[in-house]
Amino acid sequence: MSTTTPALAAASADAGFERVQIDRRDLRPDDVRIDIRWAGICHSDIHMKRGEWGEALYPLTPGHEILGTVLEVGSDVSDHQVGDVVGVGCLVDSCGECAACQDGEEQYCAKGAVPTYGAEDYHGEITKGGYSGEVVVRDDFVVRIPETYAESDHAGVTPLLCAGITTYHPLKEAGVGPGTRVGVIGLGGLGHVGVKIASAMGADVTVFSRTDAKKEDGLAFGAKDYRATEDGSVLEELAGSFDLILNTVGSGIPLDSYLGLLDRGGVLANVGAPEDSLQVSAFSLIGNRRAIRGSMIGGLPETQEMLDFCGEHGITATVEVIDAGQVDDYYDKVVDGQVRYRAVIDTETLAG
Ligand code: NAP
Ligand code: ZN
């Protein structure tokens, strides 16, 4: 027994999205059924769908930035009630017992956390993501959307479920606060949220974008400075003047040049996930005792903390709301860097 719901699915890396009906399981005692209102398009959806991280499991229904309302709860659920506005991010299950899970870092679960879509879960089912009308998720993987947000904010809150936590974690981890000198490379979905969060933490933020096209926006998001990198001299001019550089670019960039921006002991936090290897000279790390650190999204407790932080500071992503029929076009637009700054699907358009 299960429920069907409208969704988008891609049959292969090259195929366009089609409107389909997918099954959602009946509730287990610890499950929550969510009526999805908004679904963000992350660049990871594009890497996955296009097979850039290896062959995906098709038909693929992506989407790990999900916001909606609770429709039904299982008999053991006490944290969520029918009618609550909730979110689901990149994970829908983990073992709950290993050291990482105990530390609230479920994304590094030793058994392997279950991604929201395109993976086999612990029950042998293939997960399907947010480009759909409803989803059923274990209660521990559902987060609360702060009540300080108005309903009209909800489309903009949706990208926080991935872009928000993925940038919040490395900023927090690095101890960013008033006066920390932070550079953000790439003003896309992740980057623009990172600029807003780092600025709210009190950091002095500089945007490194390819061109000047997004300058006005970058400064409006809270950055104190904005530099176009197409003129490579800017990286020499600002050498040694940052504590933290956050790289959000999803294709290979010359990391050595950006490492030079770091002051003594500085860290380049890498969250971008290009299909090709990153190239780094040892001398870029030895000089000034620099480090490169990677991180993958963030755990559930920190995701809730991030949402509460963003709620307090009135932070939402800047979004373009699109119809289900526009997703293929928007995949190309994201790759071309044309989206301002995250596309969010209006799920009411899924049924066609
Ligand atoms: P996005 O919206 O496409 O933004 C990436 C930005 O990078 C673009 O807007 C562009 O900014 C810049 N850029 C793109 N191509 C470039 C190039 N060839 N050279 C230099 N800059 C370039 O993507 P996103 O959704 O923010 O995701 C970014 C990356 O993070 C993806 O690889 C995604 O898979 C990854 N990701 C990782 C995690 C994690 O847990 N670590 C989580 C989510 C996403 P400008 O126009 O300003 O230059
Ligand atoms: Zn994502």
DSSP string of 162-223, one letter each residue: THHHHHHHHHHHTT--TT-EEEEE--SHHHHHHHHHHHHTT-EEEEEESSGGGHHHHHHTT-
User: Tens digit of pLDDT for each residue in 263-294?
Assistant: 999 999 999 999 888 999 999 999 999 999 99
pLDDT band at 2 (very low <50, low <70, confident <90, very high): confident
Q: Which of 62, 61, 72 is nearest to 136 (CA)?
A: 72
List the Cα angle 313/315/321 in 5-degree steps: 160
Structural domains in the chain plus CATH codes: 2-162+298-349 (3.90.180.10), 166-294 (3.40.50.720)
User: Tens digit of pLDDT for each residue in 111-162?
Assistant: 999 999 999 999 999 999 999 999 999 999 999 999 999 999 999 999 999 9
Average pLDDT value for residue range 291-317? 98
CB 258 within 8 A of CB 232: no
Among all bound ligands, the one having the nearest atom to the CA of 276 is 1
107: Cβ below 6 Å to ligand 1?
Answer: no
319: Cβ below 6 Å to ligand 1?
Answer: no
Mutate which of 248, 255, 276, 293 for ligand 1? The one with the most ligand atoms within 8 Å of its CB, which is 248
Q: Which of 334, 321, 351 is nearest to 48 (CA)?
A: 334
Ligand 1 center to 137 CA (angstroms) = 28
State residue 232's pLDDT score: 82
CB 40 within 8 A of CB 193: no
Ligand 2 center to 164 CA (angstroms) = 9
Looking at the CA of residue 294, tell me the nearest atom of ligand 1. 41
Q: Are strands 143-144 and 85-88 parallel, antiparallel or unpaired?
A: antiparallel
297: Cβ below 6 Å to ligand 1?
Answer: yes
Ligand 1 center to 262 CA (angstroms) = 21
190: Cβ below 6 Å to ligand 1?
Answer: yes
Q: How many CA atoms lie within 13 A of 286 on its CB side?
A: 3
Backbone dihedral region for residue 224 (phi beyond 0: left; psi -120 to 50: alpha; all else: beta): alpha
Residues with CB under 5 A from ligand 2 (ion): 42, 44, 162
pLDDT band at 1 (very low <50, low <70, confident <90, very high): low
User: Tens digit of pLDDT for each residue in 208-237?
Assistant: 999 999 999 999 999 999 999 998 899 999
Ligand 2 center to 272 CA (angstroms) = 10
Average pLDDT value for residue range 342-349? 98
Share of the chain above pLDDT 70, in %: 100
Calculate the average pLDDT of the chain.
97
Looking at the CA of residue 47, tell me the nearest atom of ligand 1. 34
CB 22 within 8 A of CB 128: yes
**Atom 17 in ligand 1: which residue has the minimum CA distance?**
251
CB-count exposure of residue 123 (10 Å: 0-12, 13-18, 19+): exposed
State residue 231's pLDDT score: 83
Q: Token pair of 82, please?
A: 């029918």
- DSSP string of 82-96? TT-EEEE-SEEE--S
Average pLDDT value for residue range 237-251? 97
pTM of the model: 0.98
CB 207 within 8 A of CB 227: yes
169: Cβ below 6 Å to ligand 1?
Answer: no
Among all bound ligands, the one having the nearest atom to the CA of 338 is 1
